[in-house]
Amino acid sequence: MILLHGIALGGKWLLVLFVMIGIVPLLAASYQFLLVALHSRHNHYGRVGDHLPRTAILIPAWNEEAVIGASIDRLMLLDYPRDRLRICVVDDASTDDTPKVIQAKIAEYPGNVVHMRREKGGQGKAHTLNHGLAILLEDDWMEALLVMDADVIYEPPSLKKMTRHLADPEVGAVTAYIKEGSRPGNYMTRFIGYEYITAQAAARRSQNVFGVLACLAGGAQLHSRVNIEAIGGRIDTSSLAEDTFTTFKTQLAGRRVVFEPNAVVWAEEPGSIDSLWKQRLRWARGNVQVTKQFKHLWFRPDPGHRLGSFTFGVFWFCLFLLPVIMILISASLVALYFIDFPLSWETFHLLWIVAGLCYVFTTLFALLIDTDTSRHTWKEGVLFPGLISIAIIAYACFPRPARWCIHTSTDLMGFHLTHGDIHLAILFAYIWLAASMPVAWTARLLEPRRAGRYLSPAIVYIVGYGPLLCGVTFNSYIKELRGAAMTWDKTEKSGKVGMPA
C-alpha cells in the first residue's frame, strides 16, 4: 500500500516536472536576448580591418528571369572596387530566359559577370553551388566567396562591412542581417519581418557573444578562400540544410563564424502560409538531418569549438524539440487535472507566468533592437504567440482583473458561467499548447478556399505565428521518420523586393 502510494506520488511529481520542462525554452530564449546586451563588449569589431579581398559572388539560379537582371545591376552598385568583384551566376539548367538575361549583363558589365551553365539541373542548391565552386577553385583569382540567392538585395556598404571581418585570419565566414523586403507586404511578410529581428538581429548577436553561430544565412554567406578549401572545397549535398552544414564544418575546422548586423540584405519572403510551410519544412528537415549528422557533437565540450557546449546544446534542442515539449506539457497537465486538480492549476499558473514575463521581455527588447522594422511589424510582434496564448498569459499573470473582466462581460451578455463551463475552459487552456499546432495547420488547409482569404490570416493571428512554425517542425519529424523524398521546393518569387528609400 505504501509502495503504491509512493509510486502515485512520484508519478504526480514526474508530471509536474514534464510541465516545468516548458520553462527551459522560455528561459533559454530570454538568456539569448540577455546576451545581446553584452554584444557591445563581446563582438568582433576590435579585430576588423580595411580588407577588400577579390570576391566571387556565387548566385545559384533556376528560372530567375524575373529577378536575376536587377540583382546583377544592384550588385554592381555595391560600394566595392569593381576589379575585385566577379558575379558568377550558376544557371541550373533554366528553361526560361535566365541565360539570355545573364548574357545581356555580361555585355553590360564586361569582366564582372560570368555565366556558369549546368545542362542537367534540378538536383538542389548545394549541387548548383558546387558546380560554380569547382570552376572558381580552378584558378587563384578568388580570395573570398560570397554565396547569395538570386532575389536578394545587398545594401551598398554591406559587402565591405562583411569583408572587414576577414582581416582576422581566425574568421572563416561572415553572415549578414537578412531583412524581409517584399513590396507590397502582407500580414505574413510582416510576421516574417518580426521573426527575423528575433532569429537574426537578436539570436545571431547573442551567438556572436557566445562564440558559436548556428547557421550562416543561406542568402548571405561570405567565406575566406582558405575556409572553403579547409572544409573540402565543396558544399554538403546530403541534406536540405547545406548552409548549416557549412557553418558547423567551418567551426569544427577551428575558424570563427561572425554575424555582421550592419550588413543588411533584403529578401523577398513567402507571402502565404503554403509557401512559408514549404520553405520552413525544408529548413526544419535540414535541421533534423544536421542534428542526426552531428550527433557526436551535442553536449560534448571541445576546446577547439563551442558547438559541443552545454548552453549551445540547450539553445539548439529547445528549438528542435519545441513541438514535443508543447505536447508533453499539455498531456501532463491533462493527466494532472484528473489526478490532482489543485496541483495542476498551480503548475499551469507558474508555467504561464514565466511565459508572460519572458514574452514581455523578449518582445519589447526585439521591437527596440530594430526600430525601423518594428515600426511596421510591431502588431505581428505583439501577436507572435497568438491571441489565445496572450489571453492565457493575461489570466495567469493577473487572475483577479481577468476574472472581473470575464464575469462582467458574461453578465453583460446575459449568461452565467457554470462550474462545468469553467472546467471546460480550464481543460481547453491545458491542451492549447498541443492543439495550437493542428489548428495552425487548418489555416494552411483553408488558405486556397474562398473563405480562407480572410479566415487563414485570422487563424494565424488567433493561434500565433510561433505555433505555426512549431507545426512545420512537427511535420518535419514525420517526413524524416517516413523517409520522405528530399524535394527542393523552390519558394515562388515575384521579384517585388525592395529596400526603403
Partner 1 sequence: MKEFDVTEQTDVADEMAYERGLTVKALVALAVVVVIVLVRQRYLG
- The footprint of partner 1 (CB under 8 A) covers 33-34, 36-40, 43, 45, 47-50, 164, 167-170, 205, 262, 357, 360-361, 364-365, 368-369, 397-401
In the complex, least distance from residue 230 CB atom to partner 1, rounded to whole angstroms: 16
Q: Min. distance of Cβ 479 from partner 1 in angstroms? A: 37
Nearer to partner 1, 353 or 431 (CB): 353
User: Which residue, 167 or 382, is less far from partner 1 as judged by CB?
Assistant: 167
Radius of gyration of the chain (CA): 25
Instruction: Give least dist CB 35 to partner 1, A.
Output: 9
State which residue, 170 or 421, has the beta carbon closest to partner 1: 170
- Kindly tell me which of 208 and 344 has the beta carbon lying closer to partner 1: 208
Q: Which three cell numbers stand for residue 137?
A: 577553385
CB nearer to partner 1: give 143 or 274: 143
Cα(20)–Cα(350) distance, integer angstroms: 9
* C-alpha cell belonging to residue 140: 587563384
Nearest to 128 by CA among 64, 55, 217: 64
CB 362 → partner 1: shortest distance, Å? 8
Considering beta carbons, is residue 400 or 419 the nearer one to partner 1?
400
Neighbours of 353 (CB within 10 A): 15
Q: In the complex, what is the shortest distance from the CB of residue 388 to partner 1, in angstroms, rounded to a whole number?
A: 20
Least Cβ distance, residue 130 to partner 1 (angstroms): 31
Q: C-beta of 161: minimal distance to partner 1 in Å?
A: 9
Q: Where are the beta strands (DSSP E) in 26-70?
A: 55-61
C-alpha cell recorded at residue 297: 557533437
Q: Cell numbers for 252, please give them.
A: 569544427
Quote the cell numbers at residue 215. Answer: 547557421
For partner 1, give the closer residue by CB, 164 or 249. 164
Here the cell at position 216 is 550562416
Q: Kindly list the distances between the CA atom of residue 403 and the CA atoms of 342, 360, 399, 428, in Å, as whole numbers in the listed order.
A: 18, 21, 6, 17
Residues 6+ apart with CB under 8 A from 430: 330, 333, 334, 337, 344, 348
